[in-house]
Amino acid sequence: MTRRLLLLRHAEAASAPAGDFSEHADLARPLTAAGRTAAIRCGDWLRTHALSPDLVLCSPARRTRETLEGLQPFLHTPSLFPTRFCDAIYEATVEALLAQIRLAPVQARTVLLVGHNPGISALASLMDNQAAVLDQGFATGSLAVFHMWGSDAENDASSWQGCDHQSLTLDTFSRP
């Protein structure tokens, strides 16, 4: 079975209260009604394409958690590993996101990372800089599906530890 990385930017979120630019206010931003609908659509898209993660890496922000909740009814099977809510994914650099992915166990064939821009967009562009579709930007609720080279071979020796810009290729990019 091919090793896949799914990068999902959280769905549309409400603005923080006027004048409150604190991290606490940003972390507490809920999804809008349109954001909840987009998360459900994304979950339906994952189900239709038979993509169910073995491991979920998710920012602790409310909007990412609510996006993940919107996906849940549509995922095929329960994940092999518990969802990891990682502080390092919130406002993360590409390097921080890659570090989280590289910690995924080798048994996890499909990893879903739910995070924020600009990190998610920058990571997607790094993973496949030839994919012109990624130049359109990573709107809220966008999902990029990558496959790892060689992971579908009979003698698969791939692992998440080796995940870098030369190991993945974009399969699909879906925007809401």
Where on the phi/psi map is residue 120: left (φ > 0), alpha (ψ -120 to 50), or beta? alpha
Provide the pLDDT confidence category of residue 151 given band limits of 50, 70 and 90.
Answer: confident
> Domain total for the chain?
1
Q: Residue 73 has what pLDDT?
A: 74
Alpha helices in 77-158 (DSSP H): 94-102, 119-127
Angle at 162 between CA 160 and CA 163, to 5 degrees: 65
Provide the pLDDT confidence category of residue 154 given band limits of 50, 70 and 90.
Answer: confident
Q: Residue 136 has what pLDDT?
A: 79
Q: Residue 117 has what pLDDT?
A: 95
Q: Is the pLDDT of residue 77 over 70?
A: no
- What residues are paired with 174 via a beta bridge? 143
The 3-state DSSP composition of the chain as helix, strand, coil percent (nearest 5) reads: 35, 20, 45
Q: Which residue has the higher pLDDT, 39 or 165?
A: 39
Q: pLDDT of 109-148, one tens digit each? A: 999 999 999 999 999 999 988 888 888 788 999 999 999 9
Q: Residue 170 has what pLDDT?
A: 94
Q: Which residue has the higher pLDDT, 67 or 135?
A: 67
Q: Could you tell me the CATH number of the domain that includes residue 95?
A: 3.40.50.1240
pLDDT averaged over the chain?
Answer: 91
Provide the pLDDT confidence category of residue 76 given band limits of 50, 70 and 90.
Answer: low
CA distances from 83 to 56, 71, 157, 176 (A): 5, 13, 25, 24
The residue-averaged pLDDT of 71-92 equals: 83
Provide the pLDDT confidence category of residue 46 given band limits of 50, 70 and 90.
Answer: very high
Domain that holds residue 9: 4-174
Question: Measured between alpha carbons, how far is 30 from 143 in angstroms, rounded to an integer?
Answer: 19
Provide the pLDDT confidence category of residue 157 given band limits of 50, 70 and 90.
Answer: confident
The residue-averaged pLDDT of 29-45 equals: 96
